[in-house]
Amino acid sequence: MSQRTPTLTPDRPTPVASNAPAPPTSRSRGLDTETRTIRRAGLVAGVALLLLAALSAVAVLLVVDGLITPGDAAKTATAIRASEGVFRLAVAALYLVIVLDIVAAWALFQFFAPVSSSLSRLAAWLRVAFAVVFLVAISQLAAVPGMLSDVGYQDAFGEHQLEAQAMVRLEAFHHTWMAALLLFGAHLALLGYLAYRSGYVPRLVGVLLVIAGAGYAFDTFSSVLSAGPLVISTFTFLGEFVLALWLVLRGGRVRVGAHHEL
């Protein structure tokens, strides 16, 4: 019997387990980029919302409303003349608010685009439309100091007529702003829906945004349908403020697809 000579084969190296992390795939890199974009947009939106809220409160509530005496054009004109510099600064601050509104609209679009690009874009355009109408309202305020101090206007219309026209412009500011709040309310309601569905914004924030939007819409229709309008946004405005705070404090740490609770 013939015996077969065994053939020798070279030893194959045994694979060694490696603890080194796998290189990032194109998909993981894309997700990281998207997360960074959302975080950056959230922080920008939060800062813009807080700044414009502060400027609006000081300019409108403290300065403009503080100088107006409803039903008394002469007293209102005297107050504005005595504080003309402050009044002009308040108008300038409101112009800055318009810029911040546009920035907030862009940043919020970026932040909520992963939920629904189309609805996020619509919400952004509603805020831009609000800003445009609000800009028209501010232009009514801007004309008041010059009108009251211009000698030519005083000679042409007389003191009492001029004060009455200034009062009309001040009232036009408020009426135009009230009309714009309907657009703003629709913007907030859409943001509330997007926040509720996002999975990375607390649902309570979404609910508060919808309530705030409904409050602004109510104010618009109340100003038209009633001689003594009931303003409820003083109590329902909280939603946007809570969103702004949350974006500044937590917006820089969100992850798409992660569910967050308060």
The pLDDT of residue 35 is: 80
The pLDDT of residue 23 is: 52
The pLDDT of residue 260 is: 43
The pLDDT of residue 103 is: 97
3-class secondary structure per residue, the chain: CCCCCCCCCCCCCCCCCCCCCCCCCHHHHHHHHHHHHHHHHHHHHHHHHHHHHHHHHHHHHHHHHHHCCCCCHHHHHHHHHHCHHHHHHHHHHHHHHHHHHHHHHHHHHHHHCCCCHHHHHHHHHHHHHHHHHHHHHHHHHHHHHHHHHCHHHHHHHCHHHHHHHHHHHHHHHHHHHHHHHHHHHHHHHHHHHHHHHHCCCCHHHHHHHHHHHHHHHHHHHHHHHCCCCCCCHHHHCHHHHHHHHHHHHCHHHCCCCCCCCC
- What are the C-alpha distances in Å from 54 to residues 121, 160, 173, 208, 225? 26, 35, 19, 20, 30
The pLDDT of residue 36 is: 84
The pLDDT of residue 209 is: 97
What are the extents of the domains in the chain?
A: 36-183+245-253
For the stretch 40-66, pLDDT in tens is: 999 999 999 999 999 999 999 889 999
The pLDDT of residue 203 is: 94
Output the pTM of the full model: 0.82
14: Cβ–Cβ under 8 A, 6 or more apart, which residues?
none
189-45-142 Cα angle (round to 5): 85
If one counts every other C-beta atom within 10 angstroms of the C-beta of residue 187, the result is 27
> Tens place of pLDDT for every residue, the chain, 262 residues?
445 544 444 555 555 444 555 555 544 455 577 788 888 999 999 999 999 999 999 999 889 999 998 888 999 999 999 999 999 999 999 999 999 999 999 999 999 999 999 999 999 999 999 999 999 999 999 999 988 887 777 767 778 888 889 999 999 999 999 999 999 999 999 999 999 999 889 999 999 999 999 999 999 999 888 877 788 888 888 999 999 999 999 877 777 754 444 3
